[in-house]
Amino acid sequence: MRILVVEDERQLARHITSALGRHGHDAHAQHDGPAGLQAALAQPPDLIVLDLNLPGLDGLEVLARLRAAGSPARVIILTARSEVEQRVKGLKAGADDYLAKPFSMEELVARVEALGRRGATPTAADLLMVADLHLDVQHRRVMRAGRAIALSPREFDLLQVLMQEPGRVFSRTELCERVWQRDHEYDTRTVEIFIARLRKKVDSGFPAPLIHTLRAVGYTIRPP
């Protein structure tokens, strides 16, 4: 994968690019917000590892501008453990995953490759349907009432899991495991943010919502 690393701590940036390089990726680093944004727009990478605290333009702003420009790149944000609010903002702004500092390079490479794999290899050549919502697994396309909906890779994965079993209620923990492949870290807040993002894209503007919350139980998608 072509990977852009935007991280102002130069030593950390170097460690990340060389770890990714050892795993066969083509990784380059930029060390401030404006340079990172420019590099991401000039030569669109498959995936961006984006620090949030950056000089010039912070990571949230870089992410917002990339998504506004229609960038489909998968984005993993780097946050300090204490920056819960930043992480929430990053996920709302269009990041696909996050990693809390300090992290091991093995963990970073595993996350990068999990995210890359999900985008690259569809699991089945299927067309999933719930009412007027259609999801094409192979081409990773989503339409509602004939109109295309642009989803980030993780939003797509989450919708796919829900649509594979319409009417079944999924707990936040199960969605976290199925979509983020985390066995031990049950980050249910991330699931809530992604459900909110999906609702905005899939249900808003339509008279009958398809995604439903069962209080204290989980989420389901079903026809009206």
Burial degree of 173 (CB within 10 A; 0-12, 13-18, 19+)? middle
β partners of residue 49 = 5, 76
**Rounded to the nearest whole angstrom, what is the least distance from the CB of residue 49 to Ca ion in the complex?**
12
Q: State the minimum distance, in angstroms, from the CB of residue 103 to Ca ion.
A: 14
Residues 26-55 that bind Ca ion (CB under 5 A): 51, 53
Bridge partners, 220 (sequence order):
212
CB closer to Ca ion, 27 vs 149: 27
Subset of 50-79 contacting Ca ion (CB under 5 A): 51, 53
Quickly count: other Cβ atoms within 10 Å of residue 1's Cβ: 19
Site for Ca ion contains 155 (CB under 5 A): no
Amino acid sitting at position 67: R
Name the one range near Ca ion by CB under 5 A: 2-10, 113-121, 136-144, 170-178. Answer: 2-10
8 makes contact with Ca ion (CB under 5 A) = yes
Residues 6+ apart with CB under 8 A from 156: 135, 140, 142
Q: How many CB atoms lie within 10 A of CB 165?
A: 12
Is residue 96 close enough to count as binding Ca ion by CB under 5 A? no
Which of positions 125-144 make contact with Ca ion (CB under 5 A)? none
Return the number of the residue (36 or 218) whose C-beta is nearest Ca ion: 36
The CA–CA distances, whole Å, from 147 to 93, 134, 156, 158 equal 23, 10, 16, 19
Q: How far is the CB of 36 from Ca ion (least distance, A)?
A: 11
How many residues bind Ca ion, per CB under 5 A? 3
Provide the minimum distance between the beta carbon of 9 and Ca ion in the complex, in angstroms, as a whole number.
6
Strands (E), 102-202: 127-130, 133-136, 141-144, 147-149
The 8-class DSSP code of residue 82 comes to T
- C-beta closer to Ca ion: residue 82 or 204: 82
Nearer to Ca ion (CB atom), residue 8 or residue 155:
8
Chain residues that interact with Ca ion, rule: CB under 5 A: 8, 51, 53
